[in-house]
Structure 1
Amino acid sequence: MTTLTITAKGQITLRKDILRALGVSPGDKVDVHVLPNGQVTLSRSRRSGSIDDFIGVLHDKATRPVSIDEMNEAIAAGWAGEQ
């Protein structure tokens, strides 16, 4: 079991091992479900495949010029949720 501390702003920070277990990284979203017994569940948010999910998929990824083939691979990976 992991114990987290709540900040004065009412926030918590998840440790890297928890983020890794969830399969999330900076910029990803998580779903929180509050259960009636006072517990919460946290899970990786699944993309809906909408155009809004696609917009910005390459943000901060391109550090060099890329080929059309590399762009197509990145697009395919983004739509498949492999990003």
Structure 2
Amino acid sequence: MAIESKLTTKGQTTIPQEVREFLKVGAGDRLGYEFVDGKVVLVPKNRSALDFAGVLHEPDRKPVSVETMNEALDEAVSERVELSRDRN
């Protein structure tokens, strides 16, 4: 499914709702642009492991460092980029 938006003379565009929902971003969130194989990939940049503190709490689970969580998040983003490439 191709989703489009229009670029204004000021270089601005509205990110379509479907894209915002997929990226889980909203007003005030930061976005990054990465060049990958001749395409531009839009990546949410305002999330860190600290944003998710306590979300997955299970009393019997061993604590995990922020660094380990960030590595897992980086891997998940990389997988999402790969899936995005495969769709195109």
Instruction: Provide TM-score, normalisation by structure 1.
Output: 0.51
Q: How many residues in Structure 1 have an aligned counterpart in Structure 2?
A: 51
User: Which secondary structure does the structure 1 equivalent of 2:20 belong to?
Assistant: helix
The one-letter code of the counterpart of 1:43 is V
Q: Does 1:9 align with 2:10?
A: yes
Q: How far, CA to CA, are the matches of 1:30 and 1:24 in structure 2?
A: 9
By how many angstroms is 1:10 displaced?
A: 1.1
Give me the CA root mean square deviation. Answer: 2.0
Q: Which has the higher helix share?
A: 2
Does structure 1 retain, via aligned residues, the 8 Å contact 2:35–2:41?
Answer: yes
User: Which secondary structure does the structure 1 equivalent of 2:51 belong to?
Assistant: coil
> Can you give the 5+ residue segments of structure 1 that lack an aligned partner in the other structure?
49-78
Percentage identity across paired residues of the two chains: 25
Instruction: Provide TM-score, normalisation by structure 2.
Output: 0.49
> Can you give the 5+ residue segments of structure 2 that lack an aligned partner in the other structure?
53-88
Q: How far, CA to CA, are the matches of 2:11 and 2:46 in structure 1?
A: 26
Q: Which residue of 2 aligns with 1:27?
A: 28
Please identify runs of 4+ aligned residues in structure 1 that moved more than 4 A.
Answer: none
By how many angstroms is 1:31 displaced?
A: 1.2
